[in-house]
Structure formats: structure tokens, C-alpha cells
Amino acid sequence: MKEKGLAIITGADGGMGQVITTALAKEGFPIIMACQNPEKAIPICNHIRITSKNSRIEIRKIDLASLSSVSAFAEQLLKDGQPVSLLINNAGILTTKVRRTEDGLETIVSVNYVAPYLLTRKILPLMEPGARIVNTVSCTYAIGKIEPEFFEKGKSGHFSRIPVYGNTKLALLLFTQELAVQIKDRGIIVNATDPGIVSTNMITMHAWFDPLTDILFRPFIKTPSQGAATAIYLALSDQVKEKNGCCFANCKEKNVSKRIRHHVAQKELWDSTEEILRQKGFRI
């Protein structure tokens, strides 16, 4: 039997990330937990090692708000040369104020879109036919727009976190679709997962209404295990071997609108992202 390649999960110490990591560990994959705070991840990693009976789990630091951190993470993987079987771009943020990264990008845009783009593109040489990429989007992609100020401000006009978040998730879905086109002859499977609204720390906005949200709303949304189920399905199921560039929810393919399936900005976004990364000194 062929040895399993690496499974890399960003945000592996988060709510859904822990569930995904545990599931893949139980399948016997050697795993890299890609986390912003490795110290926080240590007890989580130890627990997963015990419950999965898989000792081949390590933690590596990655800060998706820093393209140099993402590039260094990827360069180390390339230096190591170990094949990658699974890349789960799971990490994401939803902040309440506009913030610029050291690279001049809006922070939500960097974490949710540009960093996953850069990481994926850089480690593609480590992926062989049959390898899989799973990108975590959101139902908010339906309200997303790719506007001229997308990279620097998240959206044109006044900053508003939900529209900016939706814009980044649309961008990640368009990346998923375009990547499927670009690598169609390589036998690598790339799809997106829409986990729905999940009870994680992301929906805590540090606002006055949070206690009311916890009482009235949180009991009716998905648990991290329910939210992670589709990502795990896309990573492991034989039923998606022939699917590429698709979006799934509740372990079923979604009927993505024609506007998004044939989005006018899809190739332009790919080219713009490549150009911005080149300008900032990051080669792919």
C-alpha cells in the first residue's frame, strides 16, 4: 500500500480544525497542524495524538496575516520534500475593524484569501495525482463582490465586516474554480466546502449583543463537528474523485449560480493576485 503523504490543516487548533485534524489522524495521515499560536496548539495536539493513536502529528507556526510567514512555511515544506496528499485551507477570520497587514493588505483579505492562495500555489509541486485541496468558503460568497479596492480595503466605500468577509469567500471560491482549470491535467482534486454557520469563536464579535446571540441563536447553529463534516468528506470520500472546482455543503454538491460559476472576474482575480504577490517579492 502506498504511504500516505502529508495532511496540512491551517487553523488546526480551532473548533473545526481540531475535528478535521482528528479525523485525518485516525485515517493514518502524517499531519502538520499549521497554527498561528503553536503554544496554544500543544495540548490540542497531544490530545489528538492520544485519541487517534497517531504520533505523527506536528505543529508548525504560520501567520496568515503575514505573507513572509506563509512563504517561509511553504519553503520549509519544499525543502523537506515530503509529498503532500491533503491541504485543508480551513483557517479564517472575521474582524470588526479594518486593519492593514505588514504587506499592505486588509487583514481579512490576507487571512481568508491571499494567504491560502500563496500557500496552495507554492506547495503544488509537492502534490501528486490523487492529492486533494479543500478550501473553506461560506454561504456569504453569494453576496460577495470583487471590487477595485478589494486587496487594500476589502471593499469599496465604508468598511463593513460581513460584506468584506463575503468578498473574501467569493474570492476563495473563484480561486477554487480557476485552480481546477489551471491544474486539470495533473490529477489533483480541488473543491470548496461551505460549512454553514458554525458555533465557533468566529461569531463572537465582542459587541454588546453577543450575550443575546449566545442565548437565542447559538443553540440552533451547527456544532464544529457538523461544520467540519463536509471538509472531511471532501478530503476522504471516493465519491468526489471526479469532482473538481465544485462547492459542497452538508456533504452534497451545491448548485452554485451561473453568475459565480462563470464569474466575469475569475481569471482577472487570479492574474491580479499573481501580480500583487510578484510586486511584494513572493515568487510562485
Cβ proximity of 134 and 89 under 8 Å:
yes
Q: What pLDDT shows up at residue 208? A: 43
- At residue 213, does pLDDT exceed 50? no
160-189: average pLDDT: 94
**Radius of gyration, CA atoms only, the chain:** 18
Burial class (CB in 10 A: 0-12, 13-18, 19+), 134: buried
Interatomic CA distance for residues 196 and 250, integer angstroms: 8
Q: What would the pLDDT profile of 103-159 be if each residue is shown by its tens digit?
A: 999 999 999 999 999 999 999 999 999 999 999 999 899 999 999 999 999 888 877
Cβ proximity of 110 and 65 under 8 Å:
yes
pTM equals 0.91
Q: What pLDDT shows up at residue 24? A: 98
- At residue 242, does pLDDT exceed 60? yes
Q: What pLDDT shows up at residue 99? A: 84
DSSP at 110: I
Task: Find the range with the poorest average confidence among 79-83, 91-95, 220-224, 240-244.
Answer: 220-224
Among 2-6, 133-137, 207-211, the range with the most confident prediction by mean pLDDT is: 133-137
Tell me what percent of the residues of the chain surpass a pLDDT of 90.
Answer: 80
Task: Calculate the CA 188 to chain-centre distance.
Answer: 17
Cβ proximity of 17 and 90 under 8 Å:
yes
Interatomic CA distance for residues 91 and 235, integer angstroms: 16
- At residue 201, does pLDDT exceed 90? no
92-111: average pLDDT: 89
- At residue 188, does pLDDT exceed 90? yes
- pLDDT band of 203, cuts 50, 70, 90: very low
- pLDDT band of 277, cuts 50, 70, 90: very high
Cβ proximity of 195 and 14 under 8 Å:
no
270-282: average pLDDT: 97
- pLDDT band of 199, cuts 50, 70, 90: low
- pLDDT band of 221, cuts 50, 70, 90: low
- At residue 161, does pLDDT exceed 60? yes
The Cβ of residue 64 has, within 10 Å, a number of other Cβ atoms equal to: 27
Strands 247-249 and 252-253: antiparallel
Interatomic CA distance for residues 199 and 217, integer angstroms: 9
Q: What pLDDT shows up at residue 218? A: 44
What amino acid positions are annotated as catalytic residues?
165
**Helices first, then strands: H and E counts in the chain:** 11, 8
Mean pLDDT, the chain, as a whole number? 91
Q: What would the pLDDT profile of 61-72 be if each residue is shown by its tens digit?
A: 999 999 999 999
The residue type at 25: A
